[in-house]
Amino acid sequence: MTVTEQDKIFMQQALDLALKGRYSTKPNPAVGCVLVRDHVVLAEGWHQKAGQPHAERVALANAAAQGVDVKGATAYVTLEPCSHHGRTPPCADGLIEAKVSRVVIGMLDPNPLVAGQGVQRLEAAGIEVLVGVLAEQAEALNCGFLQRMRDGLPYVRVKIAASLDGRTAMADGTSQWITGAQARLEVHKMRAQAGAVIIGIGTVLMDDPSMTVRLTTQQLNELGLSSEGVHPLRVVLDPHLSMPLQAKMLQLPGRTILMTSKESVESNPAMVEQLLAQRAEIVAVAAQDDRLDIESILHYLADEEQINDVMVETGAVAAGAFVESGYVNEIHAFIAPLLMGHQARPMFELPSVQQMADKLSFTIQQMDKLGDDIRLILTAKKTIRSDNHLPSD
C-alpha cells in the first residue's frame, strides 16, 4: 500500500498532538489522532492523562461536538488503536462504529493486550489499514513505554551536571550551583517526564535533597501538568537502611521508596518500623555483598510500579555502576564553563576501565546551548552488561 505525502503530513500533525501528552499520560503512551476527509481535517485529539479517553475517542468526541459526521474519513493515529477494555473502551471499536473507511497508523502497539489485534479488528470490519507511517518518530515518542512492553524494563536516563574538567562537586560536597537556571529548568522537566528518580543514599546524607519537580504553575501548564501528582516516585538506593528519619523528602508530597536488601530488612525491624512511620516505603531487592542488583531494581519499577522512564541522579559511584551495567539508554550531561580542580568529585567512577581497550564510547544524539551551559544527550555505542550490582553511594 502506497504511502502518500499527505499521509506523512497528517501523521506528523498527529505526532505533534501526541507530544502534548508526553509529560502527563504515564504510565500510558502519548498518542495523537487526526480525522481527515478530502484532505481537510475534520477533528483531532490526543490522550491527555491515564484513565481519560484515548486520542481516537477524543477526536471522535470533538467531531461530534462540532456536528461533523466522520463516515468515510481517514483516521491518522500515532499508535495502533487499542482493542481491549481497560479504564476506557476499545478505540478500534470507536473507529468502527464511526464508520471511518481508512486508518493510518504510525506503529503497532507491543502491549500484549493489543499487539496487532487492533489492526485485525479494523480490517475484519472492512476498514483499510496502513501501518508504519513515520514509524521512527512514533517509536521515539514513547521509547519508555515501548521498552517496558518489549523488555520488561524502563528507559533509563542518567543526568549529570559537571564542570569542563568533569567534576560534579567540590571535595567537601558543595555542588550548588554548577549549572545555570536554564539547565536546571531542563532537569526539572526531565523529572516531570520521569516516572521515577533514582538517587543514592550518599547524596541524601550529604545534601538532604527534595527530589521534587519545582516548576511554576505556568511552566506546569505549558507541559500539560498540574501540581497534583507531578512529582516522580523517589527511589533511594539504601542497602543498609541509613535513611535519616528527618530526611526532607519524606515530608514532601509524593512517594519515597527505599531500595535495600532482604538482610537489612530482617536485621533492622525497629528501623523499618520507624521509616514506615515516616511514610517511607521499603522494598527488598536482590543483593550481593551489600551491593543492590540493578536489574532487580529496574524490573521492580517496571513490573510493580509501571514505570516507563527512570531518571538517575546519583553520585559518581552509583552513576558509574549504572553505566557499566549496560542498562542506561541515555546520558544527559549538562556541562558548565567552569574548572573545579582535581580534588573535586568526578562524574563517574568506572572500575572496569583500566586501559584504552576498556574505554566506553558514546554517540552524541543531541547538543543544546542552555544559557552559558551545554547539554549533551549521549547513547552508548555498545551494551556492556557486566556486574549489575550497585555499590553504596
Residues marked as catalytic: 56
- 143 marked among binding-site residues: no
- 315 marked among binding-site residues: yes
The one-letter code for the residue type at 289 is D
Terminal Cα-to-Cα distance of the chain (whole angstroms): 55
Cell of 288: 550481593
- 177 marked among binding-site residues: yes
Which candidate, 242, 247, 300, places its Cα nearest to that of 271? 242
- 317 marked among binding-site residues: yes
- 313 marked among binding-site residues: yes
- 214 marked among binding-site residues: yes
Determine whether 51 is exposed, middle or buried from the number of CB atoms within 10 Å of its CB (0-12, 13-18, 19+).
exposed
- 91 marked among binding-site residues: yes
Which candidate, 129, 134, 135, places its Cα nearest to that of 1? 129
Torsion on CA atoms 261, 263, 264, 269, rounded to nearest 10: 130
The one-letter code for the residue type at 134 is L
d(CA 329, CA 157): 6
- 54 marked among binding-site residues: yes
- 82 marked among binding-site residues: yes
- 175 marked among binding-site residues: yes
Contact 278, 245 (CB under 8 A): yes
Distance from the Cα of residue 44 to its chain's centroid? 25
- 64 marked among binding-site residues: no
d(CA 304, CA 307): 8
Pairing of strands 373-380, 330-336: antiparallel
In degrees and rounded to multiples of 5, residue 390 shows phi and psi of -95, 125
In degrees and rounded to multiples of 5, residue 7 shows phi and psi of -60, -45
Beta strand ranges found along the chain (DSSP E)? 32-37, 40-46, 74-79, 102-107, 128-131, 155-163, 167-169, 196-200, 233-237, 256-261, 280-285, 287-288, 291-293, 309-312, 330-336, 345-346, 362-370, 373-380, 389-390
- 161 marked among binding-site residues: yes
Contact 104, 77 (CB under 8 A): yes
- 319 marked among binding-site residues: yes
Annotated binding site for substrate: 175, 191, 203, 214, 313
Annotated binding site: 54, 82, 91, 161, 175, 177, 191, 203, 207, 214, 313, 315-321
Annotated binding site for NADP(+): 161, 177, 207, 315-321
Annotated binding site for Zn(2+): 54, 82, 91
